[in-house]
Structure 1
Amino acid sequence: MPLHLLGKKSWNVYNPENIARVKRDEAQAQAREEEEERRMQEIDAQRRIQILRGERPSTPPPPPPSHTAADPVFRQDRKPIDDAGRYRKRRRLAGEDDTDRDIRYAREDAAQANAKREELLIASRRDQEAEAPLLDSAGHINLFPRQARTSKPKKTKMQRQN
């Protein structure tokens, strides 16, 4: 690409607007990190004081969300699974670590699997009562059983002519 067109591109890394945007984003990220570090130090200091006083230390409060709704990377517009088949992304709860989240997911999945299994068992029992048997009177397996016919099938014109 000719270099004289580079300045017109929005992705140009040498564009002054893009350089300013990167510096602003880096400054915001550093400010967030410093605020989080300060907050964690205050919480640790309070817990140490409680331990030294002989009190039972309180559980640490859940960390604030690291992303905001205005952040383009983070989207909270996912809806629960509905009739249209849309998927709801599962998220970690406030104050929950990875292990607790995985255990909660496993319990939810197991409960959902058990409910589905029960539903299928009930449906299969209902279907077994309504279906014809797989074995006919001669003991042959029929994968597509039909109810026993009470009368002989009617012959068509083509069959009568032969």
Structure 2
Amino acid sequence: MAKSINYGQLMHKALRGLIAEVLAQVARDGLPGAHHFFITFDTTHPGVDMAASLRERYPGEMTVVLQNQFEDLAVMKDRFSVTLSFGSVPHPIVIPFAAIRTFADPSVNFGLKFDAHETAAGAEKDEPTQPPQPRDPAPVKPAGDGEVVSLDKFRKH
């Protein structure tokens, strides 16, 4: 039995699921409007499959853009594949969702960043995001009348 709940790891899993859902929608219906994605991933992560020439050019990290010229986008449970052109030469790339370091859609000012650190075995692992702990925890009060707050007022315009 786990000694505690790893909320950071669960959050990263959920956010990668969000990326998978967005990419599946784009694979099915195409990119709507001005949406486009910048996806940065760890090229050394297990399961990344790309041409040796690309791996040599990008030995640690690579950013791909899904905007106007991409083909064969396919989404699986734990990864996605897409064909992109580099120097007018098409190259299929397979990217596990766990290899993604950043995902951004600048058209709507949306972005996600996943932090990682090296483990003793040398494999990348998500570093859990822990909220700051209060100095004097307040007692938990039962839920009562609440207020719904729109996130729009916190966004930069």
TM-score, normalising length: structure 2? 0.25
Larger Rg: 1
TM-score, normalising length: structure 1? 0.24
The structure whose RCO (Cα within 8 Å, separation 6+) is larger is: 2
